[in-house]
Structure 1
Amino acid sequence: MAESTRTLDWNGANGDHWVAYEEKYNAAMIRYGERLFAGADVRPDERVLDVGCGCGQTTRVAAALAAEGSALGVDLSAAMLAQARTRAAEEDIANVRFEQADAQVHDFAPGAYDVAISRHGVMFFAAPVAAFANVRRALRPAGRLAFVCWRAPEESEYSGVPRAALAPYVTVPPSGGVNEPGPNSLADPDRVREVLGAAGFVDVHLEAENEPMNLGADVGEALDFVLNRPHVQGAMADLDGTTRAKAAECVREALTPYLTPEGVLLRAPAWLVTAHTPA
């Protein structure tokens, strides 16, 4: 299959950004990782498939939970997978491996896994019914699916606060609408049920989660994180130095009210989705 634009994107600026900010993303999403594994209920002897594993933090957690089983992480980004392998070697995790693959079409061995998980990695499917059907075929009968995905962007301070602060200076490209491939594609709960049902899953359940994203220990860290995201960098690329500084200061001011003793916390509503394959 020819490499898609989406693959090229994750093998470019987006993948490089996630590697550079790996620890910050893991810290930012730690509460959603906890919710994901509460929903997945990984057992010691199980085989876990992690879809869109990125730099592999969730795959390594899955491997630790499945200490007598195994975990496979798949992703499109070569750079992120290289980081994942490095981290697994550093932590001496023997029951984990990583593979560069597009979960939408990859030829997984039928019934090879007990549970499939994803932390914000399944919203980018171009053909979600076919993609989830492919994941379903990789699961055994009565296998389990658990993932977290964003809810509507207008509910999200994480998405909306920086965008509003930058609006007087630049137009930050939209991240994709509901029902379009991108971060918000699974925001509509009815669509999630429809897609998973059409893909062959049963017992589909959505639980609204309202965990915050932690953008940094202080406002300076949070500002660096926001301004260096690829879509923000692209939007600000043509600003002159003075205007760029003014825009950055507006973002700093917008983030400051969200500083707490735990860090800069912005509400980022999501769904925890669980489902099963038929017995």
Structure 2
Amino acid sequence: MNIMAHAWNPGDYHRHSAAQQTWAHELIAKLALAGDERVLDLGCGEGKVTAEIAARLPSGSVLGLDVSRDMIAFARERFPPEQYPNLRLIEGDMLDLPFDEEFDVVFSNAALHWVADHGRVFQGIACALRPGGRVLLQMGGRGNAAPIVAIADETLAEDPWTRLFDGPAPCYAFYGAEEERELLEATGLTPLRVELIGKDMAFDQIDSLAGWIRTTWHLYLDRLPEEARPAFIAGVVSRYVERFPSPDGRIHVPMVRLEVEAVKEPEP
């Protein structure tokens, strides 16, 4: 399972990814960058998080990598090299990283839950890091968005959706902490902290919740006929809002993020 199979709409995602950007901002602060590091950002998407990292590296640089050609094209247009000379954006697959001890830090936000084989990603990260290099990752973890995912699965089991849906049942790579720790250790990376963290994703209106589903739920939407997708989204949103009302008038989706800190030990 890899995001290579999905067609992303960078502009639409950019308008409906405020929560991901907020969490990324919090994650970047945990890097405590000195300003001269070389950073690799895996799954950089439309580039706004990568550009924020670049702004914190006056004497360093950041390379953003994403498998989506459309995302990279959008990011390059928004963050051109003449304005961001220490930022480079390339198309590439995190399952096949080609780097050899080039980076001080490997960072990723809201991307690894699209890739089933975390062990293979960690092998590439271990090769990409210089000895003593650091890893900081956050992704969807076990139990992420469970109530609304359950509603989507329930909806798919009903007509007409069960007849229209083409392919295997959706399954995101939402790992638990212990299995993620084992995968890190198997590739020679030393885990410092691997934990599941609860987050609240809040939407002010129904259209915003629908926008989040439309721009990120590719495992569901890509296997439905394009003309049927708006009705499926509307049905999931309607059921969720009805079943989980909130006294503050906003729509809340409970999220679970898996956060990983690790290092590549220095050579003896």
Same fold, TM-score > 0.5, yes or no: yes
In 2 relative to 1, CA 91–158 (structure 1 residues): closer, same or farther, beyond 3 Å?
Answer: farther
In 2 relative to 1, CA 224–41 (structure 1 residues): closer, same or farther, beyond 3 Å?
Answer: same
Residue aligning to 2:170: 175
Q: 1:189 aligns with which of 177, 181, 203?
A: 177
In 2 relative to 1, CA 254–106 (structure 1 residues): closer, same or farther, beyond 3 Å?
Answer: closer
In 2 relative to 1, CA 23–245 (structure 1 residues): closer, same or farther, beyond 3 Å?
Answer: closer
Residue aligning to 1:63: 54
Q: Is the 8 A contact 1:115 1:145 kept in 2?
A: yes
Counterpart secondary structure, 2:95 = coil
Residue aligning to 1:101: 92
TM-score, with normalisation over the residues of structure 2?
Answer: 0.81
Higher mean C-alpha displacement, 144-153 vs 220-229: 220-229
Letter in 1 for 2:96: V
Residue aligning to 1:23: 15
> After superposition, where does 1:105-254 map in structure 2 within 5 Å?
105-108=96-99, 110-125=100-115, 127-153=117-143, 156-164=146-154, 167-169=157-159, 170-171=161-162, 174-176=169-171, 182-184=172-174, 187-214=175-202, 216-227=203-214, 229-234=217-222, 237=225, 248-249=234-235, 251-254=237-240
In 2 relative to 1, CA 210–143 (structure 1 residues): closer, same or farther, beyond 3 Å?
Answer: same
Deviations 1:209-239 (A, max 9, x none): 111234x431133234435644443565399
1:278 and 2:268 correspond: no
Higher mean C-alpha displacement, 96-105 vs 256-265: 256-265
Letter in 2 for 1:206: V
Q: Is the 8 A contact 1:74 1:102 kept in 2?
A: yes
Residue aligning to 1:39: 30
Letter in 2 for 1:23: R
Q: Is the 8 A contact 2:103 2:133 kept in 1?
A: yes
Letter in 2 for 1:265: H
CA deviation after TM superposition for structure 1 residue 163, in Å: 4.0
Counterpart secondary structure, 1:212 = strand
1:74 and 2:65 correspond: yes
Identity score, percent: 24
Q: Is the 8 A contact 1:141 1:277 kept in 2?
A: yes
Provide the C-alpha distance between the structure 1 equivalents of 2:228 and 2:54, rounded to a whole number of angstroms: 48
In 2 relative to 1, CA 233–259 (structure 1 residues): closer, same or farther, beyond 3 Å?
Answer: farther
Provide the C-alpha distance between the structure 1 equivalents of 2:64 and 2:226, rounded to a whole number of angstroms: 38
TM-score, with normalisation over the residues of structure 1?
Answer: 0.78
Provide the C-alpha distance between the structure 2 equivalents of 1:21 and 1:34, rounded to a whole number of angstroms: 17
Residue aligning to 1:179: none
Deviations 1:102-159 (A, max 9, x none): 2332321x32211100112223445433331221121121111011122224763353
Deviations 1:176-211 (A, max 9, x none): 2xxxxx432xx1212111111111111331132111
Q: Is the 8 A contact 1:151 1:269 kept in 2?
A: yes
Provide the C-alpha distance between the structure 2 equivalents of 1:210 and 1:249, rounded to a whole number of angstroms: 26
1:266 and 2:259 correspond: no
Aligned length: 259
Structure 1 unmatched ranges of 5 or more: 177-181
Provide the C-alpha distance between the structure 2 equivalents of 1:83 and 1:94, rounded to a whole number of angstroms: 17
Higher mean C-alpha displacement, 267-276 vs 161-170: 161-170
CA deviation after TM superposition for structure 1 residue 97, in Å: 0.6
Provide the C-alpha distance between the structure 2 equivalents of 1:262 and 1:84, rounded to a whole number of angstroms: 34
1:9 and 2:27 correspond: no
Provide the C-alpha distance between the structure 1 equivalents of 2:222 and 2:115, rounded to a whole number of angstroms: 23
Letter in 2 for 1:204: L
Letter in 2 for 1:175: P
